[in-house]
Amino acid sequence: MIIKKLSLYNFKNHSEKKFEFSPQINCFVGNNGVGKTNILDALHYLSVGKSFLGNTDANNIKIEEDFFTIDAEIQNEDSEDTLKISQPKEAKKIIKKNDKSYDRMADHIGYLPSVMISPYDSNLISDSGESRRKFLDSMISQTDSGYLYDLIQYQKTIQQRNALLKYFAKNRVWDKDSLEIYDDPITKSGTKIFEKRREFVAKLNPIVQNFYQIISGGKESVSVIYESHLLEETFENLLSQSLERDRMLTYTSKGIHKDDLLFEMDSVLIKKIGSQGQQKSFLISLKLAQMSLIKELTNKTPILLLDDIFDKLDDIRVAQLIKLVNQENFGQIFITDTHKERTENVVRRINEESVIFEI
């Protein structure tokens, strides 16, 4: 998959920008605050329909404007497609492929897979399990069209069950039979999600370990471990055993919405013992493993988005990253940097066709 052209209108700080891209390496250089990361965010929108920075869609409309649009031409193996994302200020976001709107956002996910490596990745280590669950869900959704549908159904049913628990508490009533109506749909979708997560992490872990050894050259070993209540118990039993606890808490306390990924180094959480350099090496290894596994499972080469990472990494890690990107044939790459000369040197090392845009 190759993005040939990109047009931005009223997207964040860009009133109007148009680009024609190289099929290999594309670099955006300029001072801080000129909107380089915003261009990568627009590319991320094309992939998954939302900002990687966590902004709401309406907040990405340029100040004092009423809408934003992102237009792109995509080259497939045997055809060309157009993608358009439109976000009016007071209406629903629309994503169109070849002028036809998607009925569901989930139908678009996986069409143009992507992997982002940015300074914000450190949150995966330092934040709560929610950020790691979102990361895991994003990875799997790009490889499995049914996964996102199951996840949406599960989340809706959990919300309904929680709303009923709160209603019971507020009105001082209790109806166990009404609550159990949700047990079957939660169990069915939740168990499918659990199995797919467990299988995906089992494939991901050895790839992360391999990339980490190459990048770090260190003797320490790293692991990605899937943590879930369902590893110990069936979903039916979980709901039954936690019923009284859920009644007191007024929410569903156990299930796959509490899953987590444990990032370990030598069997200890990496956030506890890993140096800053080791944590950076691990995160790059994790993202490269994500890219490799998406490619393996979908037969599509994801686009690689590298945001300001050369300011955050030492020369050795930059060299290892560039070497890996070149060896693994990772496809189309987009890079942001504040130093044009440094970017040119990096591109020269990869020795591929490239375009540098000064923003």
CA angle 272–278–283, rounded 5-degree value: 95
CB atoms within 10 A of CB 74: 19
The residue behind tokens 């920008």 is: 17
CA angle 318–319–320, rounded 5-degree value: 90
Q: Is 115 marked as binding a ligand?
A: no
**Dist CA 134 CA 60 (whole Å):** 21
**Dist CA 52 CA 132 (whole Å):** 14
Q: Is 98 marked as binding a ligand?
A: no
Q: Is 30 marked as binding a ligand?
A: yes
**Dist CA 56 CA 316 (whole Å):** 37
Q: Cα dihedral sign for 285, 343, 10, 60?
A: positive
**Run of H or E including 155:** helix 145-171
Q: Is 32 marked as binding a ligand?
A: yes
Pair 118, 52: CB distance under 8 Å? yes
Pair 281, 317: CB distance under 8 Å? yes
**Dist CA 70 CA 8 (whole Å):** 5
Q: Is 345 marked as binding a ligand?
A: no
Cβ-defined contacts of 264-270 (< 8 Å, 24+): 264/222, 264/223, 264/224, 264/225, 265/220, 265/221, 265/222, 265/223, 266/220, 266/221, 267/223, 270/125, 270/222
The residue behind tokens 């069950």 is: 161
Q: Is 37 marked as binding a ligand?
A: yes
Closest Cα to residue 206, out of 294, 285, 278? 285
DSSP code at position 90: T
Q: Is 26 marked as binding a ligand?
A: no
Concatenating the DSSP letter of every residue in 44-89 gives HHHHHSS-TT---SGGGBPTT-SEEEEEEEEE-SS-EEEEEEEEET
Q: Is 218 marked as binding a ligand?
A: no
Residues annotated within a binding site for ATP? 30-37
Residues annotated within a binding site? 30-37
